[in-house]
Every structure is written in C-alpha cells, then in structure tokens.
Structure 1
C-alpha cells in the first residue's frame, strides 16, 4: 500500500436503508424468516453479523466500522494491463479502475467513487468489504466477468453489477442506480445479458430508481436477458428483492423474442425473499417473478417466499 495523504470524503443519505429497517420492524414481518437469506460468509474479518437484510449498515466499510477518514487517498493508475497480482487496501479511489489482459487484482476495504470494469476474459477482480459509488454513469458500477464481490455496498451507474461469466456476489447490497432526468435509460440491480457460472448469494438486490417521465426508469431488480448469448448455470439463493417500481422484481431469462432467449438452462432460484407493494400485492408494476422456463429440467424454482407473511411466491405471475 502506498504512503499517501489522508482524505476526508462525503457521507451519503441512506433513505433506502431506513426503508429496509422499517420493513424489518413491521409487526407483520415474520420473525422465523429472519436469517433465512444469508449463506455462510466466505473467509473474511471476524465481524459479528446481525440476522437481517443486507443494507448500507452491514456491508462495505460500515460493516467494519470504517469511515473515509480512516482511509488514505489513492494516487495510482486507473488502467492495469500488465504485471500483478495487485492488492489495493484501505484507500479512497477516485478514478475508474479498468483491468485488461490477464491482470489479477484484489481491492479490500476501499471507497471507490468511480466504476470498475474487468475488460478482458482473462483478467479478474476480487472486491471485499468495500463501498462502490459510481454516481451517474451509463453502464454498470461493476462489470463484467471474473468478478468476486464479497460483503460490498454497490451503487450508482444504471445497474449495480453487470456480469457475464464467472461471477460471485455474496452478502452484498446492490442498489442506488442513477439515470438521467430526461433520458430513456433502463436501470437494474443485477444484469446478465448472456453468460453463466454466476452465483448470487445472501444479498439484497434492488432497482431503487423511479420512472423519470421521459421513458427512463427501472426494469427489474434481477435481469437475466438472452440478448448477447445463452444463459447457463445461474444460481440465486438466499437473496432479498425489495418491491420495485420496475415491471417485475425478477426476470429469469425465458424471452423467446430475444436472440438467445428460447432456452435458459441451469437457472436455479431458491430460498429467496421478495417484497411487494401492499396495495397491488406485486413485487413490480406488472408482476413479481417472470420468464422462468419450468419445462427445462435443469431449472429450479423453490422455497421463495414473501417478506410480509412467509408464504410462497408464485412463479410467472
């Protein structure tokens, strides 16, 4: 780690997290469900975890009691195309990080006020206990392949994470997308437009933006779309999907009108908790879970329940 000056950053409003906290305290929220949606943590600092949804208080720097004043200012490059493996720890990073060729990088306990791109099929990133805030950005806060994201708070961009191949997101909070006030951007929590070997575990995945009145707004919390390639072996377990203003909470890949939307396979969506609008009874404007191909033997939908009463969430409604 470089010996660089200290840096004091800004604090962010946490109205979304206050909303989740209120939901947890609601008298109709079933106590037996608390803790269902967390898988065992991968190796990391031994910090006690409360049995609750992932939010800004128990992911990223806040989970460890770290603030920006505890971090140094990063003065390194943005692009890495050779050498390594690299380790960046305990810093405030204000430049976009891009990994090329076969560069391997670990970022740990950092605040990233920019976006991160893994732009090569051979490059890889491990991101631990960090807070990414990409702000207004026309793509993902973090993309695109060979990503391991553990215990992180990820916000900004039009989607929090855009993953294609070899992606793990565990015990993290994906939220706070940013769209233009007058554009037609469509936002989401997690997006895969083709790919596989993806694991989403124990995380809160929320498309929290609202319609902008000009054709832009939220799509879904989870977007599996066969636009660029087939969808194979994508497993989602123990996650929380709050109610969203988007069309659906979760879209699971069966979209015959798309180039690769006919036969998503190995799509496993189990033991998740879904929020809904108490007036409409739906997780999104039109429904909750859509585009699940039940006729494919390798696909599985089971054990998914409503946050407000613990009852099963029907599929394709």
Structure 2
C-alpha cells in the first residue's frame, strides 16, 4: 500500500479471498503526468473542502485505544458487534445485523441476504485487493475512511454511504485496473449523502487508472432508485467525475430510473472541468423519476449535466 497519502484520524494502537464481480468501464485517458498521487485539484484551486468529510472527521476517533480482534473472519453469528478492534484479516459477513464501530479493518465483503452490516467511525484499508474495499450490498457506512482496493465501495443494492471519505484506491504499476470511489454495476436502493468522493490515482503505463469518482453502470441489471445528495466530487483523473447510469451500449444501460442528483459540489481542479472531459455524463434527464437539481461547481456557479 502506498504511504504517500494522508492517514486517517490518529489512534493509540495502529497496526484477502472471495471472488468479486467483473467491472465494465469507460475508456480512460492518462492525464496529469507529473506530480504525486492525491486529490488532483487541491493545490491548483485552493478550494476549502473542510465542510466535507476528510482525515479529521472519518475513521477511528482520536484517542481510541484499539485491541486485537480475535473473532472469526467469516462472520455467521447474527448481531455480531465489533468495537474498538484492530482487525488483521478480511471480513466476510454472512449474518444479518453485524455492527462494526471505532475499529480498523481490511476489506469487508457482505454475502447474500439476509447478511447486512453497519460500519461507523472505522478505517478500512483493502490494500491491493482487486474489487471493492467494501462490497456488495445491504451495507450502511457512516464516518468511514475507505482506502485501497480497486473501488472504495462496490454496491449491488441496498447501500447507504454517509459522511464518509472514499479515496486512495490501489493501482499497481503493471495492472490495467479501472478505479472508482463508488461503483454499481446494477442494483437499486442506494443513498450517497454528504461524502467526499475521490478517485485520485495517476494512470499507469498499461492503461490502468480512474474511471470516475462515482460510476453507475447497467452491466448486470438496471440501476434504479439512487440518491446522490450533498457530496463533494473531488477533481479526478478519469474522463468524468460522475457517470449517472444512462449507458445504451450496456445490457441494462437504458433502464436507469429514479436517479436523483441534488445539491452536490464538483471541484473544477486543474482541467477546469473536474474530469478530463467534464464533470458529469450519462444522466438521462427524461428517465422516470430522474432529477438533477442545485448541483454546482466549487465556485458556486450552476452545473448542468
């Protein structure tokens, strides 16, 4: 795992495999050929992002004393509680009502229903994992610092992500991975509210790099009933900062409905357009229940898709 990125809130004690779904993504362009990894536009714009989650407001609260986790890595007991623990293995959740708080952990995978998990005030580091640092459905994340993995969050449905920081994905120099802070390849009932979304890895020499901060793709099923509200889309290294579900070339790409994108802020960054080509793409304004309202650039000007 790279060490040149800002760590989450300090703690007193700090110290992967199930197959994941394939990902169909848009073509990437290698940009920003000099400088180090990290939020692409922070230095260029001087934008004050303190109103959104970051290292001081996500992850393990300062002063928390962690002790080693000695429980199972595959969780089958309903209602399992993990609090103030340092988890040194990948967690596979196969039970309902699992609650993880004030802890550090590697990646988290949620199995088929009724498995579910709530993660709060926790730091997740998936390292070089191929797939989502948190995947797939029936998850709630609050005040979570998510780093590592090909995607920060990979959602197949019934996902709530609030007040969290998704960033610092993993891109080995010899792998053509396509990265996202949040991605769904089909599913429904998703809420992203008041997060900082960043795909901040520089493209490598084998066509690996960022797709977007947020990508909704109808690969394996329709993308429906998604609310994206009051998030900060940090200037990225992909084609666009957000791709919002209308992808006619995909099997279910014309079935995106109930896509609500409101009150978000898009950082302009070095390109002036958040991504290489623009801030937002693939939003179908005439789709049933789709709504785009009150989204702005970081200078306050109105942003239209």
Q: TM-score normalised by the shorter chain: which range applies? A: 0.7 to 0.9
- 2:118 alignment partner, SS class: strand
Moved over 6 A (4+): none
Residue 217 of structure 1 corresponds to which residue in structure 2? Answer: 209
Secondary structure of the residue that 2:278 maps to in structure 1? coil
Q: How far has the Cα of 1:121 moved from its partner?
A: 2.1
- For residues 238-289 of structure 1, the C-alpha deviation after alignment (integer angstroms, 9 at most, x for no partner) is 00001101111000000000010012000000000001234x3211112210
Instruction: After superposition, give the CA deviation of every residue in 1:100-135 in whole Å (9 maximum; x if it has no partner).
Output: 2x43200000011x1100011210000000000111
1:71 pairs with 2:66: yes
- Given the superposition, is the C-alpha separation of residues 168 and 303 from structure 1 closer, same or farther in structure 2, using an over 3 Å criterion? same
Q: Which runs of 5+ in 2 are unaligned?
A: 1-10, 16-36
The corresponding residue for 1:121 is 113
Measure how far apart 1:145 and its partner are: 0.5
Aligned partner of 2:291 among 270, 295, 300: 300
Structure 1: distance between partners of 2:84 and 2:102: 5
Q: CA deviation at 1:17?
A: 7.4
Partners of 1:235 and 1:301 in 2: CA distance: 10
1:18 Cα shift? 11
Does the 8 Å CA contact 1:164/1:193 hold for their aligned counterparts?
yes
Aligned to 1:181: 173
Q: Structure 1 CA distance, aligned partners of 2:201 and 2:51?
A: 23
Deviation of 1:78 (Å): 0.5
1:312 maps to which of 281, 284, 302:
302
Q: Distance in 1 between matches of 2:138 and 2:222?
A: 17
Contact 1:124 1:145 survives alignment (8 Å): yes
After TM superposition, the score normalised by the length of structure 2 is 0.85
Give the secondary-structure state (helix, strand or coil) at the position aligned to 2:190. Answer: strand
**Count of residues in Structure 1 that have an aligned counterpart in Structure 2:** 275
User: What is the rounded CA distance, in whole Å, between the counterparts of 1:66 and 1:231 in structure 2?
Assistant: 41
Alpha-carbon distance between aligned partners in 1 of 2:57 and 2:39, rounded to the nearest angstrom: 10
Cα distance between partner residues in 2 of 1:110 and 1:227: 34
Instruction: Map 1:158-307; keep pairs closer than 5 Å.
Output: 158-278=150-270, 280-307=271-298
TM-score, normalization by structure 1: 0.82
Rounded to whole Å, the distance in 2 between the matches of 1:103 and 1:148 is 12
Q: 1:18 to 1:158 in 2, by over 3 A?
A: closer
- Check if 1:59 corresponds to 2:58: yes
Which structure has more helix as a fraction of its residues? 1
